[in-house]
Amino acid sequence: MSEIDNAKDEFQKLMDFVSKAKANIYQVPNKPDRNKTLPRLIGVFEEKIAPKYFEKAQEVIPKIINPHERSLAYHAVLSLLRSHALFLVDLARPYRVEILSDYALPVKLIAFISQQRLPSVPLPFLLAVLSSDFKYVHFNYLSNVGLVGLQPDLVAGHLDDLNALWHEVAGYSIALARSDNRLTRWTGQLTELLKQKELLDTYQNLFRESTLYNLPIDRNSIKPEALSELDAVMQNDQEWSELSTPWLGEFLEDLFWVMTQEGERTANGAIETATIAAMAKALTPRYPDLDAGDLDHPPVNLRLLVGVSYLGYGKPEDEIKTIASLYVSDPDPLLELATVIAEFCRNIINSPETPFLGQVSPEEKKVVKAVLELPNKGVRDQLEKLLANVVEPPLKDSFEPINFFEQTADFDSFIKFRFIDTDLRRFVWPPPQQGGWPPNRFGGIGIVGHGRRPPWWW
C-alpha cells in the first residue's frame, strides 16, 4: 500500500470512530438543549474541518521530495486530527460539568462577564466544561466559539476561586487578538518600549530563567549550544516578539479582572486591592517559586506587581510600594518593570484596538464585590440574585468554520495550523528561514497546548 493510500485508510478509520462517537454521546439528564450542542460541534469537525484539512495535506505533502519525510508528514497530520477528535469526544464524558449540582452559577457568571465586557458582536458562545485546571480553549477554525475549563472543586460548590473566570473569559478576546496578529504587534511595541527604558534585559532574564526552571529535564543536562540558541532567539526582535507573546496575553487577562476595582479606596483611604489578593490566593499554590513562571506564564510576583501598578496609576510612588510589599516580599527589583508593563497594557485597553471593554458597569462591580466576599455565609444567595436575570447566549444551531486553508501554500505553513489554542502558540521550531520544517521534531506541535518548543526538549 502506498503512503497516500495508507494515510487515506487511517483517515477513514478515524472518521468512522468520530461518527460512532457522535451518535453515542452521553445524554445529560434534564438538559435537552445542551445535549444538542456537542454533536453539532463534533459534526462540523467531521463534515467540514477534518476532510478539508486532509484534502489540503494531500496537496502540499507530495511536494516533499524525501519519501521518509513525506511519510512523517502524513503521520503528523493524522496525529493532529486524531488528537483533536479525541479531545472533542472527551468533552462528552458522563461526568461532564452539567451533571454537577453547582454548574449553573459559574455558567451564568461566564455569560454575565462576556456580556458586560467583551466587545464582540455577536457575543461568543462559551461552553463550560470540566477541566483539571482553569483554562480557556479557543477553536481556531470556528467563529465566536470557545471553551472555559472549570476546576472540579468549583462546580462541587467550593467557590473560593470564582474570580478566575474573569481571566479565562478574557482569553477569548486575547485569542482573537492573537489570530489577527494584534498581540504579536503589541509584543513588539512592548519590546521597543522596554529597550528605551533599559528594562529589556531584566524582562528577558526573567523569561530565560522561567523557561529553564520548568524544563522537564535536569537543567545541568542542557547543552551549552542549546542555551546559546535560546539567547540568539531573544536577541532577534521578531523571534523574541513571537516567543514572548503569551506573557503579554497573561498580563492583559489578569488586568481584565484587576481593573474591576480601579479607582476604589478602602475605608481608611488606601488603594483597594482585594482583586490582587484574590489573584495571589489563586496563583500562589500553583507555582512553587513565585519568581519563576514558565514559557507561557510570567512569574507570579511580576504579575501581582503589574496589577498593583495598574490600580496605583497616578498615585505616589511610596503608596504603591507600600501596597506592593503586601503581596511581594521585595518588590523593588521588579516594580519599575511592572509599572512600565502596566501602563503599556493600559494604553492597549484604552485604544481603538482594545481586546475588551475597559469600562466596568455598576452591575459588574456589585458582582465582583459578591465574588470577593465568597464563601461568606449568605453571599452566595446574593450572587445568585444578581445573576438571576442573566440569559446565556442561545445554543448553537450550527457552527460556522473559519477558512484557514487557502493561505497555506507549503507544508511548513500548513503544519503551523493548529485546531485549538490554550496558550496562544502557533509556531514550529526552527523558523523556516532557519532551516524549515524539522521532521524529527513533530513532538513539539501540539493539538492542545504548546505549538513551539525549544530544541533542548527533544
What is the residue-wise DSSP string for 375-425?
TSTTHHHHHHHHTTT--PPPPPS--PBP--GGG--SHHHHHH--SEESS--
Domain boundary among 327, 349, 371: 349
The three cell numbers of residue 58 are 494531500
156 domain-assigned = no
**CA gap 163, 257 in Å, rounded:** 7
Shared-domain flag, residues 85 and 195: no
DSSP summary character for residue 47:
I
- Of the CA atoms within 13 Å of residue 333, those in its CB half-sphere come to 11
* Residue 147 belongs to a domain: no
Please state the length of the chain: 458
Same domain, 188 and 263: yes
Three-state SS for 210-251 is HHHHCCCCCHHHCCHHHHHHHHHHHHCHHHHHHHHHHHHHHH
In a domain, 368, yes or no: no
* Count of domains forming the chain: 2
Compute the distance between CA of residue 148 and CA of residue 162 in angstroms, rounded to an integer.
12
Q: Say how far apart CA 442 and CA 73 lie, in whole Å.
A: 9
**pLDDT by residue, tens only, the chain of 458 residues:** 788 889 999 999 999 999 988 887 766 555 555 567 777 888 888 998 899 889 888 888 888 888 888 888 888 889 889 988 888 887 766 545 555 556 778 888 999 999 999 876 677 888 888 777 888 988 888 888 888 988 877 777 778 889 999 999 999 999 989 888 899 999 999 999 999 999 999 999 999 888 887 666 666 666 666 677 778 888 888 889 888 999 999 999 999 999 999 988 888 888 899 999 999 998 988 888 898 888 889 999 999 999 999 999 989 889 999 999 999 999 999 999 999 999 999 999 999 999 898 889 999 999 999 999 987 878 888 999 999 998 876 666 667 777 655 555 555 556 556 666 554 333 222 233 333 333 322 222 222 333 333 333 32
CA 67 to centroid of chain Cα atoms: 36
**Residue 116 belongs to some domain of the structure:** no
Domain contains 256 = yes
Range of the domain at 24: 3-94+403-457
